[in-house]
Structure 1
Amino acid sequence: MDAARLENLKTWQDRYVEHRKYAGSSLLINRGGNEAYFYATGYRTIEEDLPFTRETVARIYSMSKPVTSLALMILVERGLLHLDAPVSDFIPEFSSMRCLVDGATDVEQTESCRPPTLHELLTHTSGLSYPFNPGILPEEMSKTELMFKPDQGLLATKVTELAQLPLAFHPGTHWEYSVGIDVIGRVIEVVTGGSLSTFLKQQIFDPLGMNSTGFQTIKSTGNLLASLYSPLSGDAMALNDAKQGGERLRLIDSYDNTPFDRTKMQSGGGGLLSTIDDYMRFAEMIRLRGKVGNEYIIGPQTIDFMRQNHLRGDIASMGPQSFAEQPMNGMGFGLGGAVVLNPALTRCPGSLGDFSWGGMASTFFWVDPVLDLNVVFFTQLAPSSSYPSRAELKALVHGAVTV
């Protein structure tokens, strides 16, 4: 990577802070397993002038999804379940499912449908949704705050509540970003007989040395947890009611008064906290196809399987109505992340087969098999659609690769 061109990344990070778009950020790039770039700038908590550093702990939100997806595939490798199994085999509340009829204008306009499979939950083709998406089901989810927040009780209870609602469509027919991976987290609990956090710690975090990653702050976190900001007024997660204007960096979750201090909900879809080095260890494991040191936490063929496109075309071809700031044309979806099928159609520099996902607080990562490159970006601004930082970042990184 060209050293002079890497300086453009620093300028870009600093500019976001200077213009009060982000309070602070950190960026880590590995090439061929070696660190090629690290830079942190700005503040993790503006109000106390606490700097954004390498040790900063961030809410990674949906970057939890690749971790939970990997955990399920560990169970698949052990022969404890298969991906075509209906979720009702593990969570009986999903046995008698109904979905909205085409053109429905009311949540009561439904018809009988089959339960989604584990594969459909993993690939966001299950018919589930998120409250911040447009549509009838999201509106109904919003009424009861079906968001799997850290202080919303136990995972089993929330999944049971979710199962009482109809699906937005017949499973397998469309792509819509959803809480499906939270349901997968509950499946993991049912199959293993323990908590999701215990399984993740034993099977992924401990082997990888991800000692600062989990669902709840620990004593050593202290003020290292970054505060969360938003340029929106009102609830930054309620995108259908988002209001622009006012303070660009409005504090919405402070490190010293956060629900992550009292977590009960173990949300496999969006509940993890992590550091940039911890998450790079996860990305590096993906690059090495499951290898950690001289051992494998999951088989190479399984990682390859996860990084393939599991849709019948690109995401755009499956008629998504959901929120997403990432490209949908030329982009497929694997198990836990998006997969570039045609870089030109995404309108963003990238390599064929690169695997990525981000979180609602504007964090982002990708693993590029062509350039042998891992990139992890941390900041704390919600929602992640506020600025086109992911496309800009990919262009800057690709611009710095000269060999």
Structure 2
Amino acid sequence: MFDHDPTDPHEVGLNPDRLAAIPEYFKTNYIDTGKVPCMATLISRGGEIALEDYSGTTHLGSGEPIGPHTIFRIYSMTKPITSLAAMMLFEEGKLRLDHDVSRYIPEFADVMVYESGDKDNVKTRKPDRPMKVLDLFTHTSGITYGFMMQHPVDALYRKEKIGRPDETLQEMSKRLAKLPLQCSPGDEWWYGHSIDVLGAIVEIVSGMELDEFFRQRITGPLGMHDTEFWVPEEKIDRLMACYQKDAQTGETTLADAAGAESRLYAKRPTLLNGGGGLVSTLRDYHRFCLMILRGGTLDGERLISPKTLEFMRQNHLPFGQTMRDMGKSMFTEVMSDGVGFGLGGSVVTDVVATMQPGSDGTFSWGGLASTYFWIDPEEEIIGIQATQLMPSSSYPMRQQFQQLAYAAIDW
């Protein structure tokens, strides 16, 4: 889709020299030092791309140069797409935010809450109220991730192998309902499989598997032809390698190979992970972000009403709290000070508290392998960044990207 050269930055109020400093910064500080294999950066304003740069290679220290064709594992940047799918069904009257989750997945009618004990001897109690569909959107459901390593419930997830690849999204959701929640719904913010369960509800309500719903209703109409839960054979050589940095030793090792050697993406998975399963390109994901910035429409295709999208980009945490106020999770994809949570991503509620330039109302999220996007509706700026290093908390690349981007604004 953006097969032309980027626009002149002056025309959209951005400083070309300062924009050019962004890829140079990441090349000097991250690629040349061997911290990451590559860095892809895209900045647009008013829908016009002012910076699109691809630095580095598909492997750490070797491989082919990356480019617009490079396919990245976007992990949790899947979450806003699944959330959009659910709200499209909301607009059709097929679900409500105040409905109990058990209305769609009956097993959740009997879900319990952790009270005490360890993974081998857990004492539970009934939740203070039922889990609502809204709780899934906002990560206030009490559902967690097994990789958190901070609570007996996430240890139970590991013991029960939640998220294993041989089960479907609906099968995983039903097994989740048999495990205790970390808190009563609505009480705390815990990052976890909530959007996976929401994806299962999308399947149940629509009667379509999640990949087919995306293809027919979102990625197809938006022309996001490289965004899928797997990479077909004719495109597999465009998938780059993914790396993992050990927090204790600092050693970086290969987590998943590039191309056809990938263990996870060379064929359609059984588990269509609505919270983190997609791959994409920068240009594809920019089209998704541009649709959001333009109020739910792009190139004549309206996916959702502008009022519904405006509603999604509000802070939906109880009593206007921030992620810092409610958050118990040691892992999140964005800084939590001055940031609430909407229906599918974080929302800046107090830009001063974030300790960096920006705008209230900015909508953003990221992925485990250090992909990231933000949409600033006040400045009409979209920023997207991608490399392939887990976890995303390894380096402060996201904050640095935003600092450099806002420094490039002239008017």
The two structures have a TM-score, normalised by structure 2, of 0.92
Between the two proteins, the alignment pairs up a number of residues equal to 389
Alignment of 1:4-403 (within 5 A): 4-15=17-28, 16-46=30-60, 49-101=63-115, 108-113=122-127, 114-133=129-148, 134-146=150-162, 148=163, 151-232=165-246, 242-246=247-251, 248=252, 250-255=253-258, 256-262=261-267, 263-311=269-317, 312=319, 313-324=321-332, 326-403=334-411
Structure-1 residue corresponding to 2:7: none
Deviations 1:346-401 (A, max 9, x none): 11221111000000000000000111111111110000010011111110000111
Shift of 1:94: 0.9
Shift of 1:294: 2.6
Shift of 1:211: 0.4
Shift of 1:7: 1.9
Shift of 1:295: 3.7
In 2, distance between residues paired with 1:325 and 1:273?
Answer: 17
Between 1:190-199 and 1:355-364, the stretch displaced more is 190-199
Q: Would the alpha carbon gap of residues 319 and 47 (structure 1) be closer, same or farther in structure 2, given more than 3 Å must change?
A: closer
* Contact 2:58-2:240 at 8 Å conserved across structures: yes
* Contact 1:96-1:115 at 8 Å conserved across structures: no
In 2, distance between residues paired with 1:132 and 1:292?
Answer: 37
Aligned-pair RMSD on alpha carbons? 1.5
> What secondary structure sits across from 2:157 in the alignment?
helix
Shift of 1:111: 0.3
Shift of 1:115: 3.5
In 1, distance between residues paired with 2:222 and 2:25?
Answer: 31
Percent identity over paired residues? 38
In 2, distance between residues paired with 1:115 and 1:273?
Answer: 34
AA of the residue aligned to 2:130 = P
Deviations 1:135-158 (A, max 9, x none): 111111122332x36x34321221
Deviations 1:150-182 (A, max 9, x none): x34321221122111000000001111110000
Shift of 1:4: 0.9
Unaligned runs of 5+ in 2: 1-13
Deviations 1:1-20 (A, max 9, x none): 10111122021121210011
> What secondary structure sits across from 2:404 in the alignment?
helix
> What secondary structure sits across from 2:234 in the alignment?
helix
In 2, distance between residues paired with 1:306 and 1:212?
Answer: 25
AA of the residue aligned to 2:349 = L
In 1, distance between residues paired with 2:171 and 2:94?
Answer: 24
Between 1:258-267 and 1:280-289, the stretch displaced more is 258-267
Q: Would the alpha carbon gap of residues 371 and 178 (structure 1) be closer, same or farther in structure 2, given more than 3 Å must change?
A: same
AA of the residue aligned to 2:364 = S
> What secondary structure sits across from 1:109 in the alignment?
strand
In 2, distance between residues paired with 1:184 and 1:265?
Answer: 14
Q: Would the alpha carbon gap of residues 81 and 325 (structure 1) be closer, same or farther in structure 2, given more than 3 Å must change?
A: closer
The two structures have a TM-score, normalised by structure 1, of 0.93
Shift of 1:199: 0.6
Deviations 1:174-202 (A, max 9, x none): 11111000000100111111201111111
AA of the residue aligned to 1:363 = T
In 2, distance between residues paired with 1:257 and 1:292?
Answer: 33
AA of the residue aligned to 1:257 = S
In 1, distance between residues paired with 2:46 and 2:107?
Answer: 46
> What secondary structure sits across from 2:147 in the alignment?
coil
* Contact 1:132-1:323 at 8 Å conserved across structures: no
Structure-2 residue corresponding to 1:235: none
> What secondary structure sits across from 2:365 in the alignment?
strand
4+ long deviations beyond 3 Å: 103-107
